[in-house]
Structure 1
Amino acid sequence: MSEGVFGALRAQLKEAAAAFADGPGALEGILLGIVDDVDRATREPLEIFPVCHHSPASAIAMARRLRQKQPKVVYLELCEDMAPLLTELRNCTLPVAVQAFATEVDGFPLEWSPLSVVAPITEASAEYQAIAYALDTPGAELVLVDRSSDHVFQWDARRDQPGAPDDEDAALHGDAIGMEIGDLRPRFAELEEHLLHHGKVRHWSEWWHQYVEVPLGDSDHDTYRQVMLLIGSLFRRLAPGDPHRVRVDEDRERYMWTRMREHLAATGTDPADCLYVCGAFHAASRVAEFGVHGADTFEISPRTASKWQHGLIPSSHAAIEAQFGLASGSVSIAAAEWAKNVKRTRVQPFRLAGQAGAKKQAKKLPAAEPQTAPADKLSGFLQRPPVLDRLDEAELLTWSVDIVRAARRNGYLASTADAIAVFETSILLAGMRDRAKPTPYDFQDAAITCIEKDVVPGRRDVRRLVEIMMGGDRIGRVGYESLPPLARDVHDRLAPLNLKLEQRGVQRALLDIAAQPELAHCSDVLWMLHRLMPRGAARPIMGERRLGEQPIQESWDLALGTHQRALIELGYEGVSIEQVLEQRLRTAAYDSRATAASVLEAVEDATLYLRSHRLANELGVRALEVLAAERSVDGAPAVLRRVRRLLAFYRTSEPVLPRWIESFVKTGYAHYCTLLPTAFTDEDATVDQVAAMLGFLFNMEGLALSLGCDRAQLELAFAQSHPEEPEKLALLWAAQVHLGRLSRAELRQRCADLLGNPLVVPTYPRYLSGFLHALEPVPSLVDFAVESVSNAFSRLPDPILLPWLPSLITTLRANGADLAPRLIREAGRVFPSTLAALDEWTPPWRSEPAPALPLRPTRSAELMTTHPDTCNAVANLLGCTGEWGSADPEPRGAELLDQHPATAQALHLLLTGA
């Protein structure tokens, strides 16, 4: 290679390599290779413009170069499928992000869904300057040449790895993959650490601001271009050799150069009239396809069948910093530096016509300046000592006063003395870091040192206050015209509320539906948004939606402007919120992990929000299929609650029950009868689940038997049930009382025996927990539950009673909506209402008479002689002939007792009261 423009620089680097490395070797190869990369890029006929994303220096240099060169074609490193969205930037307030979104994936693992790629755009970015120039300049064309969004995931390393992608905290961007133009950050950790240490800075953003932004802020085009190429080549050659990362970088460069050559061949455009805007890392490329005369050996693979949607979503400085690993506040500081550079250099930036805040620009650009051959500007730049900006005392003083004022508003005890301390400390820190003028980062450190105390009195610390003062976290907004059809439809349907829904923040909406029936449609939209969007986007304050109820008045807190991204992404799934909700309900119901309870929830939502009998019947059939295939009782409580609500709704609103719910009750009855014996003995089945199964069997029994079920199934299930755990044993006893197999007297006697057995007393609270859960399937035992709890409090010793109380409270809290009111009402009925009456009060279960002893023949004779007429009447009813007299009562009395002992005993108790 000829020495060319950079011959002198090569000679100097050879000498430096020999001196520092003690002879030629790897260092010389790296240094000369960097110069070769710069030389190759500058000699390319198609001008390469290297940039760094969100760099004010790049934006200023881009605006200046566009006015000088006035290219006919601008090739931009951005996903080629995002091109149609760029014209919609006119209706937005920056920063925003261009997004590609796919929920229906084909060719990618299902666990990756949804796929999302975002490309954030700020005003202080070189790509925005290129976009604004190309879209508003007659005769200029903008061509996006980077890989498509589909290829982003095709080339993703996760294709070779199991599992889903890792989530990233990217604020408004969610877990989307970010496409960043001009990714300039060293991938060699030791290099970055070395730069930060010797630059006396804390993080990469501060190093870039100090050693790149400031020196290049007002440099000429050749100097800017060669320095950026130098940095890109340096970072590229020192990057670690990750095979996948290197392959993706090089494939992207091959892709872009292939697309540019295709466009040049198709249009016949002269490469001299074009400008290629890309990251400095990709500008210093060494692939064979590099340049307009490069090899045409790269084959672009076809896209998959995934359905991609495109739109604009709001972005923010914080979202950009989080997604691309920048220091907090660095993008806000860059925005402030951009405004300062525009004022200082007097370069007129480009802004899309019609965009919020855009000023009218000249209709015709001045004539393009003649191009000159590039000269060696690197030698002078590398040898020139850093320019020390003089201290701008007025600016620093303004910062110091403003931060103290902001600190006082946020609860800090700051004073004028703190402002002076911040001013002096900023100068001191800048001097310690070998710079005459304090940077915003020096000022931030000084403010934290002088104002920050042990405790932050408000919501924001001093670091955050400095970021806000420097420009704050600007959040973009997508205009109504650029919203997808679904989002515009939502805004139109909520227009009767007379709210500015596009604004950020929370707004209160009051709906008096009784007085304005037309607001019922707004209520429907709000409830669907509440169901579909993140928490806080549409939050009901007053009012609720239940099956069979009509709303009268509602109050809502709306923050659709704050959650604009979520609303826009709903538009990728359909053209109306009804369509999106139906799709989501159907997807949830037919998911491989769906349970009977989750499908019933979808049925309820379809009825509640969409009022769709067709969809409810379809999902109901699906719930029946899922229930029949389940082999566990995990979802029994939810199934019981939802089936009970749906049955109550259909019985009051439909002439006949839907066929699917009748089949569901029949199947559920047989299903839970089959699983009941196993659930009683299974350690994994909780007492809540078993109680819910019993509740389903007892509550649905009448309907199930009328539909053809056999009660013998239930009888057989209980005959096979032999629980050992105290809670489940108590449940079984309660169920036997309900079925008539066990009397209340016998149940009370069993509980008394438990309390009388010292070995069982420690586990008695577990039996009580079972009785409390039994109120779900057998609500008639509420009086017995009150009696059992009262006996426990009166007879259990404190070492057993006190540890049980938290379990009692937990049980009542978990089932408080149903159990607590029943227990309270029953206790109010049983216990005295005044404290004075409590001393003389005797529990009704203790005042009941003791069971009578069996009647003896001698007592029967007494009964016969005392009440002969009554006994004769009873004997006739029971089929005994003859008259009872005083002559021979004993044999006949014995006969009556032998044939009908229970009846005779009951009659004796009734007549004698003993």
Structure 2
Amino acid sequence: MTVPVPTGPFAALREQLAEAAATFGGSPDAVAGILAGMVDDVDRALGEPLEIFPVCHHSPASALAMVRRLRAKQPKVIYLELCEDLQPLLGELRNCRLPVAVQAFASELEGFPAEWGPLSVVAPVTEASAEYQAIAYALDTPGVELVLVDRSTDHVFQWTPRDDTPADGGDAEPPPTLDEDAALHGDAVGVEIGELRPRFAELETYLLHHGKVRHWSEWWDQYVEQPLADADHDTYRQVMVLIGSLFRRLRPAGSDRTDRDEDRERYMWTRMRQHLAASGADPADCLYVCGAFHAASRVEQFGLAADAPPFEITGRTGTRWRYGLIPSSHSAIEAQFGLASGAVSIAAAAWTKAVSRSGLVPFRLDGQRGGRSRRGKAGSGPSPAVPVTDRLSGFLAAPPVPGGLDEAELRGWCVDIVRLARRNGYLASTADAIAVFETSILLAGLRNRARPTPYDFADAAVTCIEKDVVPGRRDVRRLCEILLGGDRVGQVGYDALPPLARDVLDRLAPLGLDLEKRTVQRALLDLHGDPALAPCSDLLWMLRHLLPPDAVRPIMGERRLGHRSIQESWDLALGRNQRALIELGYEGVTVEQVLEQRLRRAVRGPRATAAIALGAVEDAIRLLDSPRLVDELGARAVELLAAERTVDDAPEVLRRIRRLLAHHRTSGALPAWCRAFVTTGYAHYCTLLPTAVVDEETGVRQVGAMLGFLFGMEGLALSLGCDRSQLELAVAQSHPETPAKVALLWAARHQLGLLSLAELRQRCAQLLGNPLVVPAFPQYLSGFVQALEPVPALAPFVVETMSTAFARLPDPVLLPWLPTLITTLRDQGPELVPLLVREAGRTFPGTLPALDAWVPPWIAPAPAVAAAPSVAAGPVGALLAAHPEPVDAVAALLGCDAGWRPVEAPPGASEVAALLAAHPGTVDAVAGLLAAAGAGR
């Protein structure tokens, strides 16, 4: 069998690698196959008629190579690896300050699991990236067409397995905890051009270990970025495809990620073939910009000459996607794609230095020129095609170019980091600057580097300056990132904002503030002196409800039912929260429309409750002057209350409906939904009361709130047609078992007149007199405290019972219970504490000397009088003595059980008798009323 002789420009390199594999690998089959396959991938990619330009995301070397190639080739069509439905947004980059991210957002899902929502995809763009240079060239050069060929954002989630979270459908996953600027992308899925990183964990660990670096970003900068910064076009392409092929061939096989990558490549080649067929463009005038990983693709649709059938592209789902630009930052990009902290800032600094050194004029859009950059002139014409030659052999065999130490640059870093450290509270000095300088050179030598890199300098600064760590102070590594480029934060310009965001800025213009700044600004509104600011106040309160808390924060003033402040003070940070404002614009055209939609969605959602609906009603009254919406939300609250089968939200329902009833009573007649809510709630809670008092999962606070609703709304409910016997029957059918609920039911029976205060006091005395019940008495007392919600008139009795318990309970029972009482009152009844305090203030003496002689009123001795109460002589006394039943009934309710006895008439009784005799009509009327009352009893 004869072995075919390798041909082509890379034949010598392929043969050399095969010999090396046989020499060092022992068995030439596996290693030689991988090495030969890598060379084949390079040969295949570079031999394609449609020029493939491999890139790595946010790589200065790729950006420099892109600028050189665009000026030399001057392509007429650029195919870019980016979601195809994002193309209409690229023109808005002219109105932005980089970095920004192109975003697709969907909140109403159709065809995706509901728990995935909302869906968001972002593609960050920085100036030091090849994709931005290609976009800027295409947008600013007449006759050049830019075509995005990657899968749509809808397909990003279509190709995500249903058992994965949406974040798993992207190229990277953000870390769990992020600072403010690093969280600019939120939980969006990130897509990037040229994700180039080993997908074989052992390979990455091996490269980091032998490269003497800590993370992948440093390895890439040291061994790829710097050597390729000044490489020619052919060398750059061959090296990048070789690296992409290496990572591709050493990835785990059979994973979902592998299938998605290959489907993306089939998708892109299918779209390019379709465009070429439709436009008739010459492939020689086209440029395909993709990641180096995809440049080494081996799918059957690769290349224009492939005879494989076109890839079948499925249709999109019914999900409605909204598109826009959001601000990004270096730290957000690092967090999104798992890069080392400061890597993008260092890349930006390297880009600026390389552009200055090489004299290249990069492509910039209008929004990024800043008035000083000049538009680069294209060459005289496109460069002719050059045959592919082997540049890999020379590049791989050549030793690294020795770079001399740039002492001026390193010295400037050391001086600046010491100055910056001193500003941030570190005790740094000139000696520390010298130490950082020498340590940087030492670390570079230990790591076999010709010159210190920014990473060496950062390690040296941490070693020499950060001698201790103070909470709340920036660490030195963060200071190095700021020094070497800083965490640049982009901004979306006014013209690129959605209509809602522009409308917000326009309506807040009377405040006289530049709200596009990222600083926090103070707005002072004198609504009494300048009524024209009232619309600004209304808008700010709506934004307070819709945006994050730190975006719009009131310092002075409040907006509650029936009250509007005449002076307000606000801290505004809309520029810092531009992303949230932009995403708000995806939901509607005006803030009022978005707020109305959210309130409706809140009461119609699967987790909607009556308490949530009442909160929506309150927000609609406070923020939107729309009676129609209030009636709609209120009617929904009635429906939700009638459908509830638990009383978990009873305290919240009671608190909100009390507030709404008080508001409507002061502003006019009660609306129909309020009347319906009261009648429905009265019947609903009467029905659930017997079950709730025996349910172990229902707390005493919930039962107290139910009784508070029933007793507090009783008068209104009865006037609206409810039957009081329904409440009496519900209380009679309630048989609680826990002590707290038993005490609560006793209070309800007392409120209904079924249990007198004397009987209630007697039952508490029996509990304290029973040694078996004494340990549980604090639970009874907790029930009495919660009873202040439905029966606030029991406050004197509760103070009396608590005082008696403190006096009579043994210390082993009392002391462990006191912390529980305090925490219970604080967590479950904070509104009841002022009631108890006021009653205790009326009961107990106000001075310390008076406390020694004070006797509690509930144990004070009876006055020295006869056994029976006296009855004054005269017609009234005779009438009361003749008909004692009404007075006996009142006395029984008050706990007085004494009999009757006549007494001597007091002085002046004869004058009173004469007066009554002269006017018998009054006496006869009172007598008739008392007689009727006695007969009723």
Tell me which interval the TM-score lies in, with the shorter structure as reference length: over 0.9
Q: Which residue of 2 aligns with 1:107?
A: 111
Contact 1:111 1:163 (C-alpha < 8 Å) held by counterparts: no
- 1:243 CA displacement: 3.0
**What secondary structure is seen at the aligned counterpart in 2 of 1:518?**
helix
1:786 and 2:799 are equivalent in the alignment: yes
Q: Distance in 2 between matches of 1:817 and 1:274?
A: 72
- 1:868 CA displacement: 9.5
Cα displacement string for residues 41-73 of structure 1 (whole angstroms, at most 9, x for unaligned residues): 101111100000000100111011111111111
- 1:815 CA displacement: 5.3
Paired AA for residue 122 in structure 2: V
Q: Which residue of 2 aligns with 1:274?
A: 286
- 1:391 CA displacement: 1.0
1:845 and 2:858 are equivalent in the alignment: yes
Q: Distance in 1 between matches of 2:721 and 2:661?
A: 18
- 1:297 CA displacement: 2.2
Cα displacement string for residues 56-106 of structure 1 (whole angstroms, at most 9, x for unaligned residues): 100111011111111111111111111111111111110000000011111
Among 487, 499, 502, the alignment partner of 1:485 is 499
Cα displacement string for residues 272-317 of structure 1 (whole angstroms, at most 9, x for unaligned residues): 1111110000011111111122234211111111111000000011
- 1:879 CA displacement: 11
Change beyond 3 A, Cα 1:589–1:31: same
Q: Which residue of 2 aligns with 1:316?
A: 329
Q: Distance in 1 between matches of 2:353 and 2:903?
A: 107
Change beyond 3 A, Cα 1:848–1:617: farther
Q: Which residue of 2 aligns with 1:908?
A: 900
Q: Distance in 2 between matches of 1:29 and 1:229?
A: 17
Among 452, 456, 461, the alignment partner of 1:447 is 461
1:632 and 2:646 are equivalent in the alignment: yes
Q: Distance in 1 between matches of 2:87 and 2:168?
A: 29
Change beyond 3 A, Cα 1:911–1:689: farther
Among 138, 141, 144, the alignment partner of 2:142 is 138
Q: Distance in 1 between matches of 2:626 and 2:73?
A: 61
1:562 and 2:576 are equivalent in the alignment: yes
1:382 and 2:396 are equivalent in the alignment: yes
Contact 2:97 2:493 (C-alpha < 8 Å) held by counterparts: yes
Among 586, 590, 599, the alignment partner of 1:585 is 599
- More divergent stretch after superposition (292-301 vs 235-244): 292-301
Contact 2:95 2:366 (C-alpha < 8 Å) held by counterparts: no
Cα displacement string for residues 780-822 of structure 1 (whole angstroms, at most 9, x for unaligned residues): 1112222222223333333322222222222332356532222
Q: Distance in 2 between matches of 1:694 and 1:268?
A: 80
Q: Which residue of 1 aligns with 2:827?
A: 814
1:245 and 2:257 are equivalent in the alignment: yes
Paired AA for residue 791 in structure 1: T
Paired AA for residue 594 in structure 1: A
Q: Which residue of 2 aligns with 1:668?
A: 681
Change beyond 3 A, Cα 1:850–1:776: farther
Cα displacement string for residues 321-371 of structure 1 (whole angstroms, at most 9, x for unaligned residues): 111011111111111111111112111111002435254534752213333
Q: Which residue of 1 aligns with 2:671?
A: 658
1:605 and 2:609 are equivalent in the alignment: no
Change beyond 3 A, Cα 1:752–1:220: same
Q: Distance in 2 between matches of 1:902 and 1:193?
A: 86
- 1:774 CA displacement: 1.1
- 1:891-902 correspondence to structure 2 within 5 Å: none
1:745 and 2:758 are equivalent in the alignment: yes
- 1:160 CA displacement: 7.1
Paired AA for residue 728 in structure 2: E
Among 69, 79, 87, the alignment partner of 2:83 is 79
Q: Distance in 2 between matches of 1:28 and 1:675?
A: 78
**What secondary structure is seen at the aligned counterpart in 2 of 1:4?**
coil
Q: Which residue of 2 aligns with 1:207?
A: 219
- 1:264 CA displacement: 1.1
- 1:828 CA displacement: 2.0
Among 41, 45, 50, the alignment partner of 2:45 is 41
Q: Distance in 1 between matches of 2:732 and 2:829?
A: 32
Change beyond 3 A, Cα 1:772–1:373: same
Q: Distance in 2 between matches of 1:510 and 1:492?
A: 18
Q: Distance in 1 between matches of 2:196 and 2:441?
A: 29
Cα displacement string for residues 590-613 of structure 1 (whole angstroms, at most 9, x for unaligned residues): 111211111111111112111221
Among 3, 13, 16, the alignment partner of 2:17 is 13
Change beyond 3 A, Cα 1:852–1:285: farther
1:718 and 2:710 are equivalent in the alignment: no
**What secondary structure is seen at the aligned counterpart in 2 of 1:681?**
coil
Q: Which residue of 2 aligns with 1:424?
A: 438
Q: Distance in 2 between matches of 1:434 and 1:163?
A: 39
Q: Distance in 2 between matches of 1:905 and 1:785?
A: 23
Q: Distance in 1 between matches of 2:770 and 2:866?
A: 25
Q: Which residue of 2 aligns with 1:229?
A: 241
Q: Which residue of 2 aligns with 1:884?
A: none
Among 525, 536, 556, the alignment partner of 1:542 is 556
1:777 and 2:790 are equivalent in the alignment: yes
**What secondary structure is seen at the aligned counterpart in 1 of 2:184?**
helix
**What secondary structure is seen at the aligned counterpart in 1 of 2:693?**
helix
**What secondary structure is seen at the aligned counterpart in 1 of 2:9?**
helix
**What secondary structure is seen at the aligned counterpart in 2 of 1:501?**
coil
Q: Distance in 2 between matches of 1:902 and 1:597?
A: 38
- 1:430 CA displacement: 0.7
- 1:758 CA displacement: 2.7
- 1:747-896 correspondence to structure 2 within 5 Å: 747-814=760-827, 818-847=831-860, 849=862, 872-874=878-880, 876-877=882-883
Q: Which residue of 1 aligns with 2:179?
A: none
- 1:224 CA displacement: 0.6
- More divergent stretch after superposition (601-610 vs 280-289): 601-610
Paired AA for residue 659 in structure 1: A
Paired AA for residue 645 in structure 2: R
Contact 1:72 1:273 (C-alpha < 8 Å) held by counterparts: yes
Q: Percent identity?
A: 69
Q: Distance in 1 between matches of 2:123 and 2:240?
A: 22
Paired AA for residue 663 in structure 1: A
- More divergent stretch after superposition (743-752 vs 89-98): 743-752
Q: Which runs of 5+ in 1 are unaligned?
A: 881-895
- More divergent stretch after superposition (180-189 vs 791-800): 791-800
Cα displacement string for residues 396-450 of structure 1 (whole angstroms, at most 9, x for unaligned residues): 1111111112112212222222111111111111111111201111111111111
Q: Distance in 2 between matches of 1:208 and 1:162?
A: 29
- More divergent stretch after superposition (645-654 vs 301-310): 645-654
Q: Which residue of 1 aligns with 2:919?
A: none
Q: Which residue of 2 aligns with 1:469?
A: 483
Q: Which residue of 1 aligns with 2:711?
A: 698
Among 78, 84, 89, the alignment partner of 2:93 is 89
Paired AA for residue 536 in structure 1: D
Q: Distance in 2 between matches of 1:282 and 1:363?
A: 30
Q: Distance in 1 between matches of 2:618 and 2:885?
A: 58
**What secondary structure is seen at the aligned counterpart in 1 of 2:531?**
coil
Give the paired residue count: 889
Among 165, 189, 210, the alignment partner of 1:177 is 189
**What secondary structure is seen at the aligned counterpart in 1 of 2:569?**
strand
Change beyond 3 A, Cα 1:298–1:409: same
Contact 1:352 1:358 (C-alpha < 8 Å) held by counterparts: no
Q: Which residue of 2 aligns with 1:98?
A: 102
Cα displacement string for residues 221-273 of structure 1 (whole angstroms, at most 9, x for unaligned residues): 11111000000010001011143111111111111111111111111111111
Contact 2:87 2:148 (C-alpha < 8 Å) held by counterparts: yes
* Aligned Cα root-mean-square deviation (Å): 2.6
